[in-house]
Amino acid sequence: MIRYYVRVSTFEQKIDRQLIAYDKADFIYIDKMTGVSRDRPELKRLLNDLCEDDTVVVKSVDRLSRSTLDLLEICEKIKSANAHLKILDLNIDLSSPIGECVLTILGAVAQIERTTIKERTREGIAIAKNLGKYTGRKAGAIALKSPDSIERFKRLYRAGLSKSELAREFNVTRPTIYNWIKTLKRRRIIK
């Protein structure tokens, strides 16, 4: 079986580029969350579904992980399942020692890139604050201020909607939904 893993960092980002890049998959697993998080449901499902001689396909190394340690652990899980890893942007044999070395280096580059992006974002926010142009979070952070919206959220949450469905329903990101749930549980509004 060919198992294609697709990941974007936020719910708003599009997966089209990755889907167009490969059309031979038997199964497609899609996560819309940071590549640093170890808790990616679709990646976990993919790794649990792996069988001998399966091939895991990703568009690029940073789609699989933005952490070198996690990347190597994921690759080890693939290897221990006697499965294979194919990275579309690379044309190297990942089962060879040189291939493993290149993969490790590229994983480190992806991790450095993520750290650099975070630093630039922090610097940009600090500059914008000093200029009075940064006003904080967008509407998603305050969307549950009205009693009507809280009641609607409670009703949908109790109905068992997934975090992704709730995010779509309220037009916010999944991390915002997790924050809302945490806040409402702390306030004892939901269980």
Q: Which helix (H) or strand (E) holds 153?
A: helix 147-158
Per the CB < 8 A criterion, the answer to whether 144 and 151 are in contact is no
Find the largest Cα–Cα distance for the chain. Answer: 59
Q: Is 172 helix (H, G, I), strand (E, B) or coil?
A: coil
Token pair recorded at residue 102: 């290149």
* Residues noted as catalytic: 9
Residue 88's closest CA among 63, 70, 114, 69?
63
DSSP tag of 82:
T
